[in-house]
Structure 1
């Protein structure tokens, strides 16, 4: 078993320090100056053997890693060893995400870990209430990760721990993760290409449904004849998408109120199935289940 599957009491490997990026009132000019310095540093380091092979020679990715790490309070060298950039998105390695939260006083515990199940619990600093998540191979198969990622067959224990880590950390202290809410392992799992949304043009329910699952099934004639042969190929009426649109609006409101998620982050959480909503559900049922998970009750 690698260190990925071992809970750390309070590791010193990822030291978190206050940074200028967290200072209220920091101007965009100050940030731009820091970005320029980060780029210069990235350019000098980009070809060294210290840089992970996935980022070596990629000055832009290294710069993004340094800047994202700075916002989390990670020194440059720690950020480079704790983060990676997957499909243009910075992510934390699972052990680093746990260490980051533990360094802030939050508790993350590994309750059970095997090749088939990982049970992890956590609680926010100062809170008495524990939250628990469970990831199983069956859940990973249902989400389609096992078929796409061979690590679930060669390193199932580690992969389940990584999945559970990302989920419990977001539940316990999403504010500590800022703009890096996903583990590297989660980002590698996700092969979904999320279309960039133009500012001021929110994702529609129809787009979400088309990405998560098939469109509503065509209505088969009651007599069992072939719909295509009869020319009766009209899909389920528009009420399905009307309900989906309303549900998606409610989901965006709940995600913002309860988790502080932006529409883009809410979309990513939904598509990744990170709230435990089975991907195999019919599209409308999936929206209802996701809304229920967000609100803690029936949709």
Structure 2
């Protein structure tokens, strides 16, 4: 058997694989070009500023949902390596595909959202109440406490969107709000606040990314004690909340400034009317 015969009988997949890799590489190069051009602008959320690789990944993922680059960076959120969309963005994607989602009831303590897949007679209806949120363990979470009604709507609308059109959302398992509330973590992923504040080796500790005095150990202990009291015991949960509060993504407590720690602590201070 000649070499020519061997080549003629090779599986088609063997010769197609390089083209798949080339296409992926081309897409990544294009996304990197766009990311490098916009990550330093005010149109990009703080957690993508100066991070072209993360921005490029978000742009690529967003493209699969039909988003342009700026929309991808504005709407996509990642907590603990899990990509997610805020519920309103999930609803927008589902509506853009011709499906229907509408609100049936909208009260301070109860939200009911319904949805119908295009071409189907079945109506999916989801209700989230304060009592249901308590059972799920959300009411002790700081993100829930900031705006419980908005969180109820987020859960109801996100659930409906995923149920009627999982294909439109590429099977996204969670909304950003759910990840912020602690969903999608397992016992092996949970890290206590005490572990989160454990100092890193000096030669690996990154300097704060913003000009400012480093926080004291006492400030950090107080911040993580408050986070723990408010249900943010997991490392991913704590990092997600802190990043959202200070307006930029962080991977370690060593990146925080004294002012940023104060900002996080202030976010838990009750409004004047709540102290009466």
Could you state the TM-score of these two structures normalised by the residue count of structure 1? 0.53
User: Which of these residues, 116, 119, 123, is aligned with residue 109 of structure 2?
Assistant: 116
- For residue 113 of structure 1, report the CA deviation from its aligned partner: 1.6
Matched, 1:54 2:47: yes
CA–CA distance in structure 1, aligned partners of residues 135 and 21 of structure 2: 43
CA–CA distance in structure 1, aligned partners of residues 185 and 111 of structure 2: 28
User: Which of these residues, 138, 143, 159, is aligned with residue 136 of structure 2?
Assistant: 143
Instruction: Please give the secondary structure, in 1, of the residue aligned with 2:108.
Output: coil
> Structure 1: where are the runs of 5+ without partners?
1-25, 196-206, 212-299
- For residue 168 of structure 1, report the CA deviation from its aligned partner: 0.6
What count of residue pairs does the alignment treat as equivalent?
172
- For residue 88 of structure 1, report the CA deviation from its aligned partner: 1.8
CA–CA distance in structure 2, aligned partners of residues 168 and 87 of structure 1: 24
- Distance verdict in 2 for CA 1:164–1:72, change over 3 Å: same
- For residue 43 of structure 1, report the CA deviation from its aligned partner: 2.6
User: Which of these residues, 120, 145, 167, is aligned with residue 153 of structure 1?
Assistant: 145
> Structure 2: where are the runs of 5+ without partners?
1-18, 191-276
CA–CA distance in structure 2, aligned partners of residues 134 and 28 of structure 1: 45
The residue that corresponds to 1:173 in the other structure is 165
User: Which of these residues, 181, 190, 202, is aligned with residue 182 of structure 2?
Assistant: 190
The residue that corresponds to 2:58 in the other structure is 65
CA–CA distance in structure 1, aligned partners of residues 101 and 84 of structure 2: 19
User: Could you say what the CA RMSD is over the residues aligned between the two structures, in angstroms?
Assistant: 2.3
Report if aligned partners of 2:44, 2:70 keep a CA contact under 8 Å in 1: no
User: Which of these residues, 92, 101, 106, is aligned with residue 85 of structure 2?
Assistant: 92
- For residue 115 of structure 1, report the CA deviation from its aligned partner: 2.2
CA–CA distance in structure 1, aligned partners of residues 39 and 48 of structure 2: 8
Report if aligned partners of 1:61, 1:85 keep a CA contact under 8 Å in 2: no
CA–CA distance in structure 2, aligned partners of residues 32 and 144 of structure 1: 43
CA–CA distance in structure 2, aligned partners of residues 192 and 186 of structure 1: 8
The residue that corresponds to 1:125 in the other structure is 118
Instruction: Please give the secondary structure, in 2, of the residue aligned with 1:132.
Output: strand
The residue that corresponds to 2:35 in the other structure is 42
CA–CA distance in structure 1, aligned partners of residues 171 and 22 of structure 2: 20
User: Which of these residues, 47, 50, 68, is aligned with residue 75 of structure 1?
Assistant: 68
CA–CA distance in structure 1, aligned partners of residues 99 and 143 of structure 2: 29
Could you state the TM-score of these two structures normalised by the residue count of structure 2? 0.57
- For residue 194 of structure 1, report the CA deviation from its aligned partner: 4.4
User: Which of these residues, 164, 168, 171, is aligned with residue 156 of structure 2?
Assistant: 164
Q: CA offsets, 1:49-87, max 9 Å, x none?
A: 111123322323212211111001111122222222222
Report if aligned partners of 1:65, 1:85 keep a CA contact under 8 Å in 2: no
Q: CA offsets, 1:138-175, max 9 Å, x none?
A: 22222222212x23223111111111121111110101
- For residue 181 of structure 1, report the CA deviation from its aligned partner: 4.1
- Distance verdict in 2 for CA 1:114–1:60, change over 3 Å: farther
User: Which of these residues, 25, 37, 42, is aligned with residue 32 of structure 1?
Assistant: 25
- Distance verdict in 2 for CA 1:78–1:167, change over 3 Å: same
